[in-house]
Amino acid sequence: MIRAGITQLGAYAPSNVLTNHDLEKMMDTSDEWITTRTGIKRRHVAADDEFTSDLAFRAVEDLLARHGVDALAGVDMVIVATNTPDALFPATAAMVQDRFKLRAGAFDLLAACPGWLYAIGIAKSLVESGQCKRVLAIGSEALTKIVDWTDRSTAVLFGDGAGAVIVEAVDEPYGIRSVVMGADGSGGPQLHKRSVGRCLPNGEPLSESLYMNGREVFKFAVRVMETATIEAIEKAGMTSEDVSLFVPHQANLRIIEAARERLRLDRDRVIVTVDEYGNNSTASIPLAMRHALDAGRIAPGDNLLLVSFGAGLTWASSVVTWAPTTRL
pLDDT digits (tens, 9 = 90+) for 228-243: 999 999 999 999 999 9
User: Please, what is the angle between helix 284-294 and helix 115-128, to 10°?
Assistant: 80
Residue 326 confidence (pLDDT) above 80: no
- Average pLDDT of 296-302? 97
Q: Could you tell me where the DSSP H helices lie in the chain?
A: 20-24, 31-38, 52-67, 92-99, 115-128, 152-155, 214-235, 253-263, 274-277, 284-294
% of the chain at pLDDT higher than 90: 99
Which pLDDT band holds residue 47 (cuts at 50, 70, 90)? very high
pLDDT of residue 325: 78
Q: How far is CA 74 from CA 61, 71, 133, 147, 328, in A?
A: 16, 9, 7, 38, 20
261 C-beta neighbours (distance < 10 Å), count: 10
- Average pLDDT of 141-147? 98
Q: How far is CA 239 from CA 256, 265, 297, 303, 323, in A?
A: 19, 12, 20, 11, 20
pLDDT of residue 327: 45
Which pLDDT band holds residue 58 (cuts at 50, 70, 90)? very high
Residue 141 confidence (pLDDT) above 70: yes
- Average pLDDT of 47-75? 98
Distance CA 188, CA 25 (A): 33
Cis peptide, bond prior to residue 173, ω within 30 of zero: yes
Contact criterion met (CB below 8 Å) for 188 and 220: no
Distance CA 141, CA 96 (A): 14
Contact criterion met (CB below 8 Å) for 125 and 111: no
- Average pLDDT of 307-326? 94
Question: For 78-92, 94-108, 314-328, which range has the lowest pLDDT when averaged over its residues?
Answer: 314-328
Cis peptide, bond prior to residue 90, ω within 30 of zero: yes
Contact criterion met (CB below 8 Å) for 37 and 278: no
- Average pLDDT of 96-117? 98
- Average pLDDT of 212-237? 97
Distance CA 104, CA 34 (A): 43
Query: Dihedral, CA atoms, 317, 319, 324, 326, nearest 10 degrees?
Result: 0
| CA 83, chain centre distance (Å) | 11
Residue 265 confidence (pLDDT) above 90: yes
Q: Kindly report the average pLDDT of the chain as a whole number.
A: 97
Q: What domains can you pick out in the chain, each with its CATH number?
A: 3-170 (3.40.47.10), 175-321 (3.40.47.10)
Residue 227 confidence (pLDDT) above 60: yes
- Average pLDDT of 173-178? 97
Distance CA 107, CA 178 (A): 23
Could you give the residue numbers annotated as active site? 113, 249, 279
Identify any residues that bridge with 139 across adjacent strands, giving them in sequence order: 81, 163
| Nearest Cα to Cα of residue 325 among 177, 102, 167 | 167
Residue 111 confidence (pLDDT) above 80: yes
Q: How far is CA 187 from CA 37, 192, 221, 249, in A?
A: 23, 10, 12, 19
